[in-house]
Amino acid sequence: MHLYFRSGIPAAQCRPLEEYALQRRRRNHRAAFWLPAALALAILLQPWGALRAQDAAPAGAYAGSETCGACHNDLWTGFNRNPHFQSIALGKQPPERTGCEGCHGPGAAHVKALGDRTKIIRFPELEPSQVLDNCLTCHAKDFGKMNIRRSSHSTAEISCTSCHSIHHSKGVKNLLADEQREVCYDCHRDIQARFELPFKHRVNEGAMNCSDCHNPHGAPVATWAGAQSPRMVSHAFGNDIACVKCHTDKRGPFVHEHPPVRVEGCATCHNPHGSTNARLLNRPAVFTLCLECHNDVVGFGPRQEGIPNPGRTFHNIAEPRFQNCVTCHARIHGSNNDALFRR
């Protein structure tokens, strides 16, 4: 026998109490599932909503860049040479993406309050993630920034303004706060020291820049080096290692591949930033570098059978003539003729 609700409604139109209780439990279960997720999403989106509130601001909330220049004359003078001035020169962008207010938000309330700093977006007071959200309002369409949110810089809370200076740029381009290598050296002191070694890439001499090999805004997961793959190294040609952008003769594909080159990458044998050894090698003698793999250790190598130690055959590593392996195995990066990479 079912119990029914009888609140002035005919019994034929009332639902059984058991059915009502079941539906109520289902609603409570859905609420318990979705409410925490909705709250978490609201917390994550709060900085974005606060920063981009100017998107929904009425037209009267914008004062115009010329009004900003009346007080901030030091910043307005010369702004026409700034790449961001393009938004003003075109005259086609909406107010929320034009000039000063494209980054700092609606300025009418700031002007009315006689320069009250709480009425405008001030980048030094923002969290790194908030600075990134603001910049990506316009720069999100740049293909080179597609991985910026998971880049090493973003995860380490390095904001855009740590490297870029919008109003006081010293760099030749990209509004960098200083010359590109100097900006990178501020954090990467160990790499700066390597560029002072006898054998190195000529970054300090101005022949190349860090961004020739690295993407500071993040790069896709590398197709080499496995779990040790760097995430800030730009890819070259079809997802290949950055080194072959210049060293094209080492790219291949080859009929006979040298597994360390193809699988682990150039850094297996070379230090790309600098070395005390010729050809940027990690070890001073070539044969000691080769013996890191050619060591007869069972379970090592592509077939788990160990890689033969040349000293156990007709080579005698103690003799100087056998200590420079590339004298004979000259095509060590790969060969189309010989499986042993000989000339």
Answer yes or no: is pLDDT of 129 > 50: yes
pLDDT(56) > 70: no
Domain assignment of residue 226, yes or no: no
263 & 293 share domain: yes
Tokens (6 digits) for 76? 């307005």
Residues 108, 146 within the same domain: no
Let me know whether 142 and 83 are in one domain. no
Q: Determine how β-strand 256-257 pairs with β-strand 334-335.
A: antiparallel
C-alpha to C-alpha distance for 265 and 282, rounded to whole angstroms: 13
The arithmetic mean of pLDDT across residues 122-128, rounded, is: 94
Q: Tell me if residue 334 falls in helix, strand or coil.
A: strand
Cα distance between residue 129 and residue 158, in whole Å: 9
Task: Note the pLDDT of residue 1.
Answer: 39
What would the two tokens of residue 56 be? 């929904």
Last residue of a domain, one of 84, 102, 121: 121
Counted residue by residue, the chain has a size of 343
Q: Is residue 18 domain-resident?
A: no
**Mean pLDDT within 223-229:** 74
Query: At which of 201, 224, 254 does a domain end?
Result: 201
* For range 43-68, the mean pLDDT: 64
CA distances from 239 to 94, 224, 272 (A): 38, 9, 18
Residues 166, 112 share a domain: no
Mean predicted confidence (pLDDT) in 77-101: 91
Work out the mean pLDDT of the chain and round it to a whole number: 82
Report whether 98 contacts 126 (CB < 8 A).
no
Domain that holds residue 77: 71-121
Work out the average pLDDT over 259-277: 91
Confidence of residue 227 (pLDDT cuts 50, 70, 90): low
Per-residue pLDDT for 12 more than 50? no
Please tell me the total count of domains within the chain.
Answer: 3
The pLDDT of residue 319 is 84
The angle, 0 to 180 degrees and rounded to 10, between the axes of the packed helices 17-51 and 128-139 is: 80
Give the model's pLDDT for residue 4: 39
Helical (H) or strand (E) element with 286: helix 286-290
Q: How many other CB atoms are there within 10 angstroms of residue 67's CB atom?
A: 17
Q: Are residues 327 and 247 in the same domain?
A: yes
Q: What pLDDT, on a 0 to 100 scale, did the predictor assign at position 292?
A: 87
Contacts of 63 (CB under 8 A, 6+ apart): 101, 106, 107, 108, 110, 111
